[in-house]
Amino acid sequence: MTPWSVVQSDARLCHAARERTKLVATYAQRIKNKTGAARKSLPRADAKAAPATAPPAEPAELQRLKDELQRINQELSKIGRVTRPDAAKQTHMPEKQELLRQKVVLESKIRALPKP
């Protein structure tokens, strides 16, 4: 076989391979071309009434808790500024531990209040 005939046979093989790939449908094409009844989704259930919740918290109570939390955060910041060089010391200060305890209690009370 001459080099030219090798090139021609390669070209014929490539052309034949391209023709074969055009004829074979992929899985996705078979699904797409499939005819049949389209599925219909089920109708949605009727909306249910909202469950009864606790009456909304009074805005005054919520505001009081937020103000108290802000005051505690300010005091914690003040302690942090005063004792900044000695961070290990401020961790064990009873005043700071008490403020942190109060902060946790206030945050849990605020979260427990029903949303308006």
Q: Considering Cα of 54, then 58, then 62, then 68, what sign does the dihedral take?
A: negative
pLDDT score of 8: 55
Of residues 43 and 112, the one with the higher pLDDT is: 112
pTM, whole model, 2 decimals? Answer: 0.46
* Cα–Cα distance, 116 to 96 (Å, whole number): 33
The confidence score (pLDDT) of residue 108 equals 93
- Residue-wise pLDDT tens digits, 86-99: 767 767 788 888 99
* pLDDT band at 5; cut points 50, 70, 90: low
Q: Where are the domains of the chain?
A: 3-30, 59-112
Look at residue 100 and tell me whether its pLDDT is greater than 60: yes
Residue closest to 109 by CA, chosen among 69, 52, 60, 55: 69
39 falls in which pLDDT band (50, 70, 90)? low
